[in-house]
A = this chain, B = another copy of it.
């Protein structure tokens, strides 16, 4: 019950993309080098994000990635589900239907009480992530990060970003 490192990478990359100037594109190589991540593997996560429509891709030279929707319309849950899958964290296999003293399943039967609680916890987890958007994260980072650090990042990025063609 532990999320893969891809989730962490994807969230940080989305944070970078959200901070990009209007019309700028970041290639996968830049995103990878930014945090010293293996580029080919990171590309896998980016593909998943592209498949979910969270990022747009521009192929060819001067291409790269950019956010597919406004930052306030992308939640943490969107990113996590795109990378990790939409399956629930608990899988009920209905073992109460197995064994010598189990009654057969009926159409109108209620959900297993144990599964009900586990799903409730899963919903609570998802609810926190659903309420948190990339825009909210950006607003918080602007207050948290020191100005010189923001400047350094922008300077480094400025030389490697591509501009979208009109």
Q: Say yes or no: B100 contacts A156, CB within 8 Å.
A: yes
How many copies of this chain sit in the oligomeric assembly?
A: 2
Given contacts A1-B84, A8-B92, A128-B124, contact A137 B152 (CB under 8 A): no
Interface residues of chain A: helix, strand, loop or mixed (majority): helix
Q: How large is the interface on A (under 10, 10 to 19, 20 to 34, 35 or more residues)?
A: 35 or more
25 A-B pairs with C-beta separation under 8 A: A1-B4, A1-B84, A1-B85, A2-B88, A3-B89, A8-B90, A8-B93, A9-B95, A12-B96, A12-B114, A34-B99, A35-B99, A76-B117, A89-B125, A101-B153, A101-B156, A101-B157, A103-B146, A113-B137, A113-B140, A114-B137, A117-B132, A120-B128, A121-B125, A124-B128
